[in-house]
Structures are given as structure tokens and as C-alpha cells.
Structure 1
Amino acid sequence: MGRRGHGEGALFYEEDRDRWVALLELPPDGSGRRRRRKVTGRTKTEARRKLRQLQRRLEDGLPTGDGSMTLGDFLERWLADVLPARSQVQAKSTVTNYRWAVGHAIRGLGRRRLGELTPENVEALLRHLADQGMARNSVMRVRSVLVMALKHAQRPDIVARNVAELSEMPTSARDPRSGRSLTPEQARQLLDVAAHDRLVGLITVGLMLGLRPGELCGLRWEDVDLDAGVLSVNQSRKRTTDNNGREALVLGAPKTRKSRRALVLPRPVVEALRQHERRQRDERQNAGERWQDLDLVFPTSVGTPMSPSNLRRDLARITVAAGLGRWSPNELRHSAASLLSASGVPLEQIADVLGHTDTRMLLKHYRHPISRTIDAAAAPMERLFGEQGGER
């Protein structure tokens, strides 16, 4: 007897399992390998019914994969096997963000079978997260990760459609707080008040060069050449989770390849860093054996990486003392971008300074060649702040 054609099936009884088995011949995969789909039933009638359902799906061009797998099982496999192979999510912090989003999806929908999942199910999850007070951007992140994962399920022929992509964002999701930035006058006021604080160096670098908070806290002295007036971003402090789900601070590669950059330092930054270096020598001496030498420019008073919460708290303390209210480390970065823009620096050069990839299309079509080090921030910040920076 010849091999069965595509769409043909076979029905037989497996005595050791006490089950009826139906086999369906599927078209070969991309490499020409034979594919078959197996279903079982307690009775011959049940197995035949399942075989006919598969045949109808094949005739209609619908997936014949295992839609009985739960969303939770699929997402766990996707995290373990598929996500690590994606080059754009190699950074530990990025993987941690994906795990965070998948965790919310599994808690809300993990027991549902993939083949039965609907856009309404996804919308109910998103609405629940929004009603619990999750910010709109975070709800969107959960939806985006689900869309990405279910696109992979479409390729192995497991689901017919991407229900997450068909879902709508809930109207109850609260909008994120609109961005804000310091004016030149407010920035000068902040630097004046911070002049004798141990964070003045960090504030000066964040405000004038727009480093991310993690980049500030991961910056090493070996990446700062004060004589040449150049700072290189080669490391970042990140939050991750260990195998037991506990949060930990780690030092690793910056967020993206574009984040690695060398910046020419405005004179106020050079002076602030020289004074900070002297202050840090005193802190190191006072700490004695408690000091951990990680070569960090902006560590804690004992040399360890500064936690995000402590940095937010200490910066807010200084901005409140300056009469500006509470400001976050990320808003120093936003302020740097706004101050550069107000000084006439082109958007593509601001993106270079900040290590952004958001304007890739703009940069691809309109960017002119630049030197190895990026000096777009130096002259404007010197005009705005002169020799200001550090103790005076």
C-alpha cells in the first residue's frame, strides 16, 4: 500500500493504552519532512469525530496544531526557548521586563487553552490590570509581549489568529504622567542648592549629558578621561531577578548597542567630576574595610551600586530643597534633551548624546557623518552654565 496523501487519515486501536488513535497526514514542513497530527479518543466514534474536525480545519486552511496547550505552558516555553534567541532582548533587564509582563499574563489567563483564547479574554485581563491602578504604558507592555509571543504560536500552526493583536486597550487605563523638564533657570537653581551635596556630580552629569539613571550608577572611573574631557558609556546598573524571584542589582552592558557612546564633556562636568573624585577619596577613607572597590563613579558611601529607590529619594530631597518639588532621575535626562533642543541642537545629534534608538529612521535618512566622540552637548551646556558645576 502506498503512503497516504495529504489530508488522509488512519484510525486504529492501541490495546496497551485502551484508546482509539487517529492519524492525519499533513503537508511537509519547509524542509520537506513528513508531518502527521495524532488525536485520540476513548471510543472509535470519538476518535473519528476528532479526525474529521482536523480534516475540515486542514481543508479550510486553519491551524491543525495543538491548540489544547494552555497559554501558561506556551508562554513558559516561549520564555525559555524562543526569547533567548532574539538578539534585541539579550540584556538582562530587558528579559526581566518580558518576564514581568508574561507573569501578569499567566496569572490572568494562564489556564486557558490557546485554541479557545479570544480577544475578549485578553481585553478582560488588560481591563483588570488597569482597574488595579497599572499605568497605561505598563498595560500596553503586557499586551505587546502577548502579541509577540502569539505571533510565534502562529508560525508553528498552533493558533489561527493573534487574539492579543485583535484586542483593544481599555479606556480605564490611566495615561502616564506627561513628561516635563527643567528650565535653564530651574537647572541653575538645582545646581546651586546641590553644590555641597555628594550627589552634585551625578546631577551635573545627568543634567548636562542626559545619561540614563542606570548608566549614571554604572559609570566607572576607567571610562572617564578628565584630561581628554571624554566620558564613555560602557556599563549600566540594572535590576534583575535571581532563580528564587528575588530582585538584585547587577552591573552589565548598556540597554542597546546604540547606548555605547563616547561623549565630549562640557567644562562644568569636568570640574564637577574632579571635585567629586576628591570627595570620593574621603568617603573611601572613612569607610575603611567596608569599602567595595567596584570603580564606580557614583556609588553609595561604601562603594556599592546605588539602588533606584535610594537615588530617587535622595534626588527628590535635593529638588524639594531647591523649591522645585519632587523630580526623578529620568527627568534629569528629559531636561538635558529639552535644554539641548532649546539651544538649537538638531534632533539627530540629541539622539546621539542620549544613546537613543527611537529616531533610527530619521538618522538613517538624514544623519551626516560625525566624529568618533559626540560633542553635541559640550558647547550648548557651557553656554548655559559656564563654569558652574560642583562646589563653588
Structure 2
Amino acid sequence: MSGRSPATVTMYHTYADKHVIPALGARKLRDLSVEDVDRWLASKTDELGTRSLKLIHGILNRSVKSAMRRDMVKRNVVDLCDIPDGRAGRPSKALALAQALAVLAEAETSGERIRAYIVLSLLIGARTEELRALLWSHVVAYDAEREAWLPVAEAGWDHEEFAIYVWRSVRQKGDTKTVKSRRSLKLPRRCVEALRLLWDVQQTAREKARERWQDTDLVFCTRTGTPVTAHNVRRDFRKVVDAAGLVGKQWSPRELRHSFVSVLSDSGVPIEDISRLVGHSNTVVTETVYRHQIRPVIMQGAAAMDKIFGS
């Protein structure tokens, strides 16, 4: 698994050791049949979700392909099997507008880091792995005198227009999820204010930490400049959600992105524009992943006909 992160390698080892090897590890490949694999996958449907079923199928599939390259088996029966639907997982959801306003209001009274994190997630729809990798050099202001976009460290905060370059993520190689995910987004004023406050707090933390400070240039970092973990973000986010009158453990940071899509869709923003803002390759991806958050567009035909022909 070259090129994968240590966490990913560990996850695959765990699935192989728990689900693949105990059931099929002792079987000779030449005796393995499509029916054997189908029965094995079917036996896991009450235990695993669909994504996990795809994962264990992939582990076995790659193993058999490796055996084929070494002339240990003549055909890959795993590749002929369909993957069944697994156990239903927790459905993703989005904050209603009133809930989003309550979370934002509570974030305003919380620490500067989680405040900026929630405001950016909800108002620009960035992925959580994108925000955790965001650099200050990618937070830019438009300098009207020089007619150029410059990092805020150079340009300062006394400008009208600001943007961020969503060019990185915390994935193994630092790339965004897809090529289309690499995008530049203008910042709403509320985001600018949250980032400016976080900048000031971080400069103070840098002075206090002195030689312990690690100059990572990360926007979202610890008191010594080191990267924050997904656990750090989830813990702080759920505290804010609890304080806003919701049940924190029922929500995850990624659902701020779902809320971004939902709020824009309810406000009449076209699906094509939403797709570009969230960094999807096309509207099909947006409609599939966020189908519960997208306002149905089939009403448009009826509205047009009512306008043309009347009641």
C-alpha cells in the first residue's frame, strides 16, 4: 500500500485480520468460487455498512489479482461478485437555517479557533480536511493599489476583498480530494472577521511559545503551532453545538458542509453554482452526495406553467 497514510494502512490491516482472513484465509485460491465469496459478503451485511463491504471486497480482490500476476490462480472470482447493500449507517443531515444561526451565535462566544472553523465551514462549504490544511499564505487580500491578491501576512487586513486558496488537504500527499476540489473562494465578511481575530490570537500564542513554536503556517493549529487533529475539531465543535441547544454527539463537523449546500439551495442558488463552490466535478456528484440537502428543482416547471397559462 505504497503512498497510503499509516492510518489507512492500519485500517486495511484491521479489516483484513478481522473479516477476510478468518473467513477465507485458509481456502486454496483454485478452490474459491463465486458462490463462496457471495455467501461471505452476504454474511457480513448485518455487521458492516456498504462502504465497509466494498472495502473488504477490495482487499480480497487485490489479493487475488496479485496471485494472478504470480500464476497462482487463473481467474479472479472475486471480480465477478456483486457487492450487496450493508447495514444502514447514520444518515447525514444538515442544519436548518434557525439551527445554523444558533450555532453561529454560539460560535461567536467560543474560542477564536473553533469560531473561525465553524464560520468558514458553514459559510464557504470547505471540507474539514481542507480547512485543517489551510495555510495563512493561502488567505489573501486584494491590494487595490498594487492590483494584486497578496497573502494577509504581507497585505494586512485593511482591505475590502479577501479570498482563500483551497489547494491542500490533510491527505497523505497534501492534495485535495479531486482536481476540481482545488479552487479559490472569495470570503464573506463574517469569515474575514473571524480569521482576523484568529490571526491576532495566534500572534500572541507565537510570542508566548517562543522557541517551542513550530512555524507550520497553519491557520488552524495548537498553541505551539502544530496541526490540530480531527478529534480536536470534533470535540470543540460538539461543545458549541451543545451550547446552541442541540445534541452535540448527533452532529459532526462535516455536516456544516451539508448545511452550506442546504442553505444555498433553499435560497435559490442554482445547483451548477453550488457544485463549483463545493469543488465537485459535476452536478451529478452534488445531487448524489447531497440529495437530502438539495431543494427539488421539479417545481420550476409547474411554476413556469402557472405563470404562462394561469390557474
TM-score (norm 2): 0.72
Residues 95 and 314 of structure 1: CA distance in aligned 2, closer, same or farther (over 3 Å): closer
Structure 1 unaligned residues grouped into runs of 5+: 1-78, 85-89, 239-249, 364-392
Indicate the residue corresponding to 2:278 in structure 1: 354
For 1:209-253, what per-residue CA distance to the aligned partner results, in whole angstroms no more than 9, with x for missing partners?
111111111110011104441111122124xxxxxxxxxxx6722
| Residue 168 of structure 1, CA deviation | 4.8
C-alpha distance in 2 between matches for 1:149 and 1:348: 40
The correspondence for 1:252, drawn from 174, 177, 180, is: 174
Amino acid at match of 1:204: V
Residues 181 and 120 of structure 1: CA distance in aligned 2, closer, same or farther (over 3 Å): same
The correspondence for 1:307, drawn from 226, 229, 251, is: 229
Indicate the residue corresponding to 2:124 in structure 1: 209
- Trace 1:248-287 onto structure 2 (pairs within 5 A): 252-287=174-209
Amino acid at match of 1:234: W
Equivalent residues of 1:154, 1:162 under 8 A apart: no
C-alpha distance in 2 between matches for 1:93 and 1:236: 16
Equivalent residues of 2:214, 2:226 under 8 A apart: yes
Question: Does residue 1:136 correspond to 2:50, yes or no?
Answer: yes
Equivalent residues of 1:114, 1:159 under 8 A apart: no
C-alpha distance in 2 between matches for 1:176 and 1:106: 25
- Trace 1:232-251 onto structure 2 (pairs within 5 A): 232-238=165-171
- Trace 1:36-51 onto structure 2 (pairs within 5 A): none
TM-score (norm 1): 0.58
The correspondence for 1:223, drawn from 129, 138, 145, is: 138
What is the number of residues matched between the two proteins? Answer: 262
Structure 2 unaligned residues grouped into runs of 5+: 143-160, 288-311
For 1:157-182, what per-residue CA distance to the aligned partner results, in whole angstroms no more than 9, with x for missing partners?
74435335425526xx3201112001
Task: Tell me the C-alpha RMSD between the 2 structures.
Answer: 3.3
Indicate the residue corresponding to 1:178 in structure 2: 91
Indicate the residue corresponding to 1:49 in structure 2: none
Question: Does residue 1:117 correspond to 2:32, yes or no?
Answer: yes
| SS of residue in 2 equivalent to 1:236 | coil
For 1:346-375, what per-residue CA distance to the aligned partner results, in whole angstroms no more than 9, with x for missing partners?
223222222224646899xxxxxxxxxxxx
| SS of residue in 2 equivalent to 1:312 | helix
Q: Percent identity?
A: 37
Residues 325 and 165 of structure 1: CA distance in aligned 2, closer, same or farther (over 3 Å): farther
Amino acid at match of 1:338: S
Indicate the residue corresponding to 2:101 in structure 1: 188
For 1:180-221, what per-residue CA distance to the aligned partner results, in whole angstroms no more than 9, with x for missing partners?
001121111101111132210010111111111111111100
Residues 259 and 160 of structure 1: CA distance in aligned 2, closer, same or farther (over 3 Å): same
| Residue 156 of structure 1, CA deviation | 8.1
Amino acid at match of 1:330: R
Indicate the residue corresponding to 1:290 in structure 2: 212
| Residue 91 of structure 1, CA deviation | 6.4
| SS of residue in 2 equivalent to 1:298 | coil
Residues 116 and 136 of structure 1: CA distance in aligned 2, closer, same or farther (over 3 Å): same
| Residue 338 of structure 1, CA deviation | 1.3
| Residue 299 of structure 1, CA deviation | 1.1
After TM superposition, where is structure 1 displaced by more than 6 Å over at least 4 residues in a row?
151-157, 360-363
| SS of residue in 2 equivalent to 1:314 | helix
Residues 346 and 95 of structure 1: CA distance in aligned 2, closer, same or farther (over 3 Å): farther
Amino acid at match of 1:177: R
C-alpha distance in 1 between matches for 2:62 and 2:284: 21
Q: Which has the larger radius of gyration?
A: 1
| Residue 153 of structure 1, CA deviation | 6.4
- Trace 1:296-375 onto structure 2 (pairs within 5 A): 296-326=218-248, 327-357=251-281, 359=283
- Trace 1:141-152 onto structure 2 (pairs within 5 A): 141-147=55-61, 150=64
Equivalent residues of 1:219, 1:236 under 8 A apart: yes
Amino acid at match of 1:162: V
Amino acid at match of 1:182: L
| SS of residue in 1 equivalent to 2:164 | strand
C-alpha distance in 2 between matches for 1:337 and 1:362: 9
